[in-house]
Each structure stands twice: as C-alpha cells, then as structure tokens.
Amino acid sequence: MRQSQTAPEYFDEGALIGVLTAEPLDRMLDYKAPEGGCHLGAFVEVPLGPRKVIGVVWGAGKGDWDIKKVRAAYRVLDAAPMRLEMRDFLRRSADYTLTPMNAMLRLATRAPGLGDPPSMRKIYRRGPSEPERMTDARQKVLNTLAEYGDLSFTLKELAELAGVTTSVVKGLVEQGAVAEEGSPRDLPFPRLDPSLPSKELTEDQATASTYLADAVQSGNYGTTLLRGVTGSGKTEVYLEAVAAALRAGRQALVLLPEIALTAEFLKRVQERFGHRPAEWHSGATMTERRRIWRMIGQGQAQLVIGARSALFLPYQNLGLIVVDEEHDTSYKQEEGVLYNARDMAVLRASICGAHVVLASATPSLESWANAESGKYKRLELTSRFGPAVMPTMKTIDMRDAKLPANRWVSEVLKFEVQKRIDAGEQAMLFINRRGYAPITLCRACGHQVGCDDCDARMVEHRFQNRLVCHQCGESKEMPTKCPSCDAEGRMAPVGPGVERLGEEAAELFPDARIATLSSDMYGSARALKAEIEAIAAGGADIVIGTQLVAKGHNFPNLTLVGVIDADLGLQGSDLRAAERTFQLMRQVAGRAGRAEKPGTAMLQTYQPEHPVIRSILEGDEEGFWRAQAAERKAAGVPPYGRMAGIIVSGTDLPQVFDLANHLARMDGPLRAVGAQIFGPAPAPIARVRGRHRVRMLVKADKTVALQGALSRWAAQVKLKGDLKLAIDIDPQNFY
C-alpha cells in the first residue's frame, strides 16, 4: 500500500521558516512564522520589499541573514498546504528539466486569487413557506427542488432545470417558498458514480480493463502502454481504469492534447459517471480555474480532464494518470519550463503510487522501447470496435500526375472525392500547413518576403489578409510592391497552404459544401471545436484541414482522406521526422471509416518507394518501430542515449558566438561523465524575435547522470547583458 504522509511539521509563531516564492530569485527567503504559526508546506503571504507575495513554507529558515532584519510572514492563506509528494515532484522535475524552483512553483500555482478569501455567491433551496398563489411555473420550481432533495442551485441553474424564467424563482423567494443564501463560490464538484453501467466490453477490451483496474487497485506505481488503432475502444478501456480509481477513493487525471478536449468526450464521461468532470484547459474561466485548484487540493474534485499543465495541480490522492495520444508533440512545452508532460506524468505517478496509462494508436518510439524492454506493461486492442475496419491505404504517384501550376489535387484524388460526395459521404483533404501560401515571391527580382525579426519567411494568410511569421507571430500587410526592387504588382504566392487548398477545392467541386479548418481561423479553441462538431454532424461535404483535424475527432460519415503532400514531414534532418510522419499519416488516415462505412486513405507522394511511405502503406507498425529503433540505437540517440539541446541566444551575434565557443571549450564537466558536445552552429532558424540563436548538442550514454554534469557545466559562465542559455533535455525540436 501507499505510504501515508508523515504528519506535517509545524512552526510556532516567530520560528524561522524558509519560503519558496515564484519570484525570479535564486534562493529561498527566510521569514518568521506568522501569528498562530504555520505548517510545513503552508501557502503564506510574505513581504518582499514593498510588495506582498505568495510563497510556500519549504522548511526551516537557513538563518544566514541578520536575524534582526528577518521579517514576519503576514498570514497563512486559506488553501490546503502543499503536500510532501507535491514538493518532491516539483523538486525532482526541476532537477530533471534543469529549471529553477521558482519557475516550477509558478507552474504549480496557476490559479488566480489564491490569496483571496473564498468569495460568495447566491444559492437557492426550498424555503419554509408555501407560495400564496400556486401557478404551473411555480409548481415546476418546487417540484425540481423536491426532486433534487437537499441540493442547492444558482438562480440560473434552478430556472433552467425547472424550465422557467428567473423571475419565477425570484417571486418564490419573496414569498419565502424558496430560500436565498450566500455560499462560497468554490463549490465541490458533484460526486462521480463509478457504479453506473459501462458498455459491454469485447474480450480484448475486458482483458485490458481488468488488468488496469487491478493495477490501479494495487496502489503501486506502474505504467502501461495501451495500444490500439483509432476506434478500438482505448477510451472505453481507460474509463474503466478511472472507475477503479474512483472506487478506491482516489483521484484520476486524464491528459489530452488541448484540441482533443471535445464536448463529445465530456459527454462520454458524463454518461459513464453521471456528472461532468473538472475541465482544466486554456479556455477555462479564472473562477473555474480557481475552483478546480482548490477543490483538487481538498479532494473534492475526483476527476480532472485537462491539458498538460493539469499535471501540476495539487492533487490530494492521485491514483491514475491517463495520457491520451501520448505521442502528441503538444505534450512538450517549448517555452518557459521545457518539460514533457508524458515523462513528468510518469515521474509524478512514481512518487505518489499511481498508475499511468499511455494511450495511442501510434506510440512514440520512447514508449514503444520502454514497453519492449519490459519497463512498461503493454496492452493491445487489435481491432476496431464493431463493424468499422482500418481504412484501405493507397499512394498516388505525383510524378505521373502532371498537374498544371498552382494545382495540388491530382485527377485520381479529385475523382475519388467526387465519388464520396455523390454517395452523400464526407471526404477530407489534409495538408499540414497553415495559411494561404508558405512563400510570397517577387516575380521581378525573386525576393521572398521574410520576417524583420526572424530568420524565416512570412506566410500569407488570406483569411486575415496579412503576412504572418510562424516563428514570432508578427504580421504585416500584404505588400503591393516588392520591398526589395520596388516593382509594382509582381508579388505572387508560391506553394499551397490550407486556405489555398480550400480555394482549389471550391473550383474543383463547385456544388460541394466545403469547410476549411485551421487553428488560426477561429477566435478561440471553443469556436473551433464548435465548428468541428457541426462538421461531424454533417455540416460539410469536404473538410479541408491541418494537423488539428487529426486529433481525436469522430467524423462518422467520413470515408475518404486525401493527403495532399505525404512527403512534407520527411524533409529536414529532424531525428523524429520519420516517426512523426508515420504517426501523423496513420492518425489522419484513421479519421476515415469510423462507422459502418469502410474508409480509404490516399497519399499523394513524389517518393512512393520511400521506406517510411512504404511502411505507412503496409501498416507494418512493429516492423517500422524495429527499424527506427535499430537506427537510433546505432546512432546512440534517444531513447537509446541521452541528449540535450543547448541554445545560446542574444541580440548581438558576436557575443552569442563568443559565449557558445567559450562553453564548448569549457567542456570538462561534460567530458568527465563521458558526454560529447557538438557545435556550436547557427540554429536552423538563426534569428527569432530579433535574437540570434546558436545551437549545440550534448550526447551521452543512457546510463550517464547528464543533468548534474550539465548544471556544473553551465554554472561556469555568467550571463552578461541580454544573453540567454537554454538547456532542453530530450529535445523534440531542433530549429
């Protein structure tokens, strides 16, 4: 069984405490414990210069300040103290990612109003009196209250449930038939009921779900890779693991790529457990975030569905973490704290005795290798549920297509799309490129419009009528004359983006209803999700989309997926180019044929003989992973070796190179552990937001404690001016 946490240490008023704040300071600060004393782990408000800041009591004070100058903490906040395991988790993830503790604390306290007292709102319940005059509407309200027993509601909830206007409720309040009371805003989440019936599972599914339920029940740490094609019932299976956690009285977390958090998914959870879970994502309101943060700390939220940062919420008793679409690159945070939520989920679970389920149709090579070596348990769902079968995969050899200029849809693909439209089915055209055209070129002088602050071309977004830099987000108006040679009216778009493909489709299929989906075309993630759901419900004949349509959406009527450029991801020297292309193509193809109708996926390619394209087509996944694994083993790269990306950046190029060269020469601490350093060299994108970037790469054996060596190495230099040194452990991107 899990160890119970030792009773928190206590500091009497005036005792010296060490407080960790989220301020960019490189040490804990000493204070005197506030009036009434405080627990270890307590959230406290402390003076810092003229300001009040929030911190966590991390231990006894160091006592290396003049005791007379040590100030007293103001007060203990009204929030559950940070638990020992959470402090452990922050410390160990800081060590792993080489991140300062204050930045980790910032991640763990991303809830607004932490220092505020719980605010109040009005709630309504049955009052002592009867109304003087009964009407139908009034009766409905009283019936609703009777039906739900001693639950209380907000005005809006009660009116909606009863199907009356809010003024009806207000009228009943005046007569004392309904009582209006103040109540804390941060209400507990409704209890979830794991005993509601689950779907009847297939044999495969039942075996997997029994294994997971037992693993969760055991209360020990473990990780399972749950593999199965899209539609094989992975969600169904891990919801049973959630049920086991709930039964054991423990909390569960399901991590999803941001965009996959759909109403459809939440509805399934609600059907299984009776209520909606807590939802933690970028679209959540401030009040909702605050409520979730607090309720999780008090054990009054049992299930959280969230994006990667949900991992840093203050769970009281976490028993299960599911990472759905575990291979998804959005789990790696690429700014600020450079962490991979999948890896940190495993770390967190190992600290608190939780089970981890990594679910994917196309796992990352890392997870595949861990399952191969026996470090992770592997469970397989081999077929799609019900009549749905994996789509038939075909290539279209573009060398034979002989397309006219500025056309990207081959005759073959056009014919197949038309066939689906005629049959009343949906087709999808996929291109993994946002905007209208990747290049804007002057036909007079050949100049390509670039970003002023980055070493990158600007991408035309016709929908916004602007050129946008995909590196820094800067945009400018479409130029009418060439910025280089001043020629008028000679600027032309080159190459396809999703918007341009939409335009071509409109010409090819004039009678079809076409929906173009790209993350930048909708104001919010919510608006985009609403659009996707409308399409899934039959709102379009042709869906044109980027990567985001590949993630977790069900299009029941979709029977054809056409990939415009299957070669796109194979360019470049990225270590994971093959893996990513394989995953993406299999995932996109998996959108086709989810219901009774079989699906087809067609890949337009100029290199149909490429080994990656071949293995996508043949669907020999094991063969593909084995070949990839052999290549990486031979090269000594992850997951068979360790790697760190080093990025030195600054506004002054000579200074940036000086620092990088200096670091490369001072490689003693790295050599001492047998690590090698490569570079420095200008980064593939050599300037971003006006900062020059130089990269180095550090490689070491799998067994080497690389982080310690890296921090000793980095500690040899003092960063002057605006120079920055970023260390990216297990880098996913190499730009």
Residues that bind Zn ion (CB under 5 A): 451, 453-454, 469, 471-472, 474
Name, in order, each residue with C-beta under 8 angstroms of 410's C-beta and a sequence gap of 6 or more: 396, 398, 401, 403, 604
Any contact of residue 599 with ligand ADP (CB under 6 A)? no
Q: How far is the CB of 455 from Zn ion (least distance, A)?
A: 9
DSSP state of 383: S
Q: Does 228 bind ligand ADP (CB under 6 A)?
A: yes
Smallest distance, Zn ion to C-beta of residue 637, A: 30
Q: Does 272 bind ligand ADP (CB under 6 A)?
A: no
Query: How many CB atoms neighbour CB 248 within 10 A?
Result: 17
The closest of 534, 247, 230 to 389, measured between CA atoms, is: 230
Which of 109, 144, 230, 471 touches ligand ADP (CB under 6 A)? 230
Encode 581-590: b = buried (16+ Cβ within 10 Å), e = exposed: bbbbbbbbbb
Region near ligand ADP per CB under 6 A, out of 229-237, 251-259, 311-319, 653-661: 229-237
Residue 102's CB: how many other CB atoms inside 10 A?
A: 18
290 closest CA partner among 493, 116, 74: 116
Q: Which is nearer to ligand ADP, 61 or 231 (CB)?
A: 231
Closest CA to 102 of 18, 20, 19: 20
Q: Which does 236 bind (CB under 5 to 8 A by kind): Zn ion, ligand ADP, none?
A: ligand ADP
Measured CA to CA in angstroms, residue 510 lies from 418, 506, 517, 541 at distances of 11, 5, 18, 11
The secondary structure of residue 525, as a DSSP letter, is: H
Interaction between residue 377 and ligand ADP (CB under 6 A): no
Q: Is 235 in the site for ligand ADP (CB under 6 A)?
A: yes
Neighbours of 62 (CB within 10 A): 12
Among 317, 301, 305, CA closest to 188: 301
Written as one letter, the residue type at 87 is: R
DSSP 117-162: PPPEEEEEEE-SSPPSS--HHHHHHHHHHHHTTT--B-HHHHHHHH
Among 124, 312, 385, 625, binds ligand ADP (CB under 6 A): 385
Q: Which is nearer to Zn ion, 475 or 655 (CB)?
A: 475
Alpha carbons 481 and 536: distance in angstroms, whole number: 42
One of 60, 70, 201, 494 touching ligand ADP (CB under 6 A): 201
Question: From Zn ion, ligand ADP, none, which one binds at residue 516 (CB under 5 to 8 Å depending on kind)?
Answer: none
209: contact with ligand ADP by CB under 6 A: no
Quick one: DSSP state of residue 361?
A: S
Q: Is 227 or 289 the residue whose CB approaches ligand ADP more closely? A: 227
597 binds ligand ADP (CB under 6 A): no
469 binds, among Zn ion, ligand ADP, none (CB under 5 to 8 A by kind): Zn ion
Our finding on whether 202 is near ligand ADP (CB under 6 A) is yes
Candidate list 34, 171, 222, 233; residue touching ligand ADP; CB under 6 A: 233
- Pick one of 85, 186, 204, 236: the residue that binds ligand ADP (CB under 6 A): 236
Residue 705 tokens, joined: 């404690």
Stretch that binds ligand ADP, among 8-16, 180-188, 193-201, 696-704 (CB under 6 A): 193-201
Q: Which is nearer to ligand ADP, 359 or 696 (CB)?
A: 359
Q: What minimum distance in Å lies between the beta carbon of 24 and ligand ADP? A: 42
- Shortest spacing between CB 200 and ligand ADP, in angstroms: 6
| 614 makes contact with ligand ADP (CB under 6 A) | no
Q: Which residues bind ligand ADP (CB under 6 A)?
A: 199-202, 205, 228, 230-236, 385
